[in-house]
Structure 1
Amino acid sequence: MSKRDRKRELPPVPEALPAPAVDAHTHLDACGAKTADEVRAVVDRAQSAGVGRVVTVADDIASAEWAVEASTWDDRVFAAVALHPTRTADFGDADRGVLERLVDHPRVVAVGETGLDYYWDYSPPEPQQEAFRWHIDLAKRSGKPLMIHDREAHEDILRILDEEGAPETVVFHCFSGDGEFARRCVDAGYVLSFAGTATFRNARGVREAVALVPVEQLLVETDAPFLTPHPYRGQPNEPYCVNYTLRGIAELRGMSLEELVVATTTTAERTFGFDQA
């Protein structure tokens, strides 16, 4: 098989984990699962690897509506709804109205992903920050966790959370900071969710962070179809691949795999309130 063909191929499904795990952040629609049958096929693969529940996350209004619908197709699927910060340049009342309606759905377990992204220039900082403040308020009014996208915006994220008053539960999706920033987030009571980057040998800051976060504030995710964990970096990602990330993090932290899986699943259950969805 050529290198180009390998990059298009899904990694092998690994041996099942010793306890049920949760993929705390994925994008099933971006993984190519558009229909009910396709969604079930993806979560079936995840289930075979020991990943029993997934949170599929919206990045625009259409995907928010789709995520909520998809969460009704399979009991293992839950949804998060928001407008991604890179799409906030034209965030209007109609969009807010849709999200206000969707967030009350019982299968929606978080407001996300929202936050700030200063890497891309699709939306200027001002409308991003305005939209972030609105999503913070939505999370507080709905009583659901706030799921944050933070790319090269650490200080403004913390500043705005402080100014607005953070919701009861805040999740930093795909945590990208270093150990010092992780300590600040942990001290604030926030939950840190780590993706495949935690298995990348050159991601020193992220690996330093994942080693020190208390398991009570630790989640694991794929952000599929992106950020496929080592040793399959660059290939397509799916929720079952959180299995590989858990194995890498367990080794990095010096924990047994079962201990880590049980702990992160407990954190996910407490964070998202799956039993109430």
Structure 2
Amino acid sequence: MTNPQPPKLFDLSGKVFVVTGAGGNGRGLGLCMAEGLAEAGGRVHCLDRLERPHEAFYESQKAAAELGNGGSLEYHQCDVANSQTVEAVMEKIAVEKQRIDGLVAAAAIQQVTSALDYHQDDIAKMLSVNYTGVFLSARACARQMLKYKIRGSICLIASMSGIIANRGFIAPVYNSSKAAVIQLARNLAMEWGRIKEDGSGGIRVNCISPGHIMTPMVKANFDAGEANREEWENNNMLGRLSEPEEFKGAGVFLLSEASSYMTGNNLVIDGGTTAW
């Protein structure tokens, strides 16, 4: 039996998307979000700072091509903290099909350091990717959407760490950077949501705030003794960590017409951690 086609509400055929942080660290959240968009028929451009993506990207690219639904994955080297580079890459992507329909801004870094020991340079580095990089990516994408009058959707990847302090996990700058992303989404949604007289606008902006995900970055935290897996699992209502694949559906929802009346909001998917 062939796989059923996705309902039209979730169908992304013919649409063009950008996902940042989707090529550098194995099967992380960015790559899985890109896979979900391609599985729904989207042409997905994956951005990361490495000259060549991780081997996992090529495996995902091959799998997307084999679906035969028009979905695809393409890689571009891009440092999201560099405004000129981000603008140039977004323009190059948009001009090919005269459109960009949406963005998932998933690029982020993490550093576990106490507030008393955090160096100023490390604070600036963290914010340059986790906040400034998200801002620059969203702005560059929106400029192309406005130029081509595409009424699409932007999804910023925040974190439950933006609304709580994770018990026993010392990451004050990471957590506050994610809080800033949540607030950024509200402001961008306000600026870009209304349709103007020339037909531009109509851009929705939302966040996803995941709970603990078993990504390569989190595994490194466990290996370094910076976090305790058993404690993290005990902190949520499902008693387990999530997998990156579990957020594909949320990404497709937010970038498709299925969420056409949702903007300026933060979708928390955390296994119940913040609902205790």
Alignment TM-score > 0.5, same fold: no
Normalising by structure 1, we get a TM-score of: 0.38
TM-score normalised by structure 2 residue count: 0.38
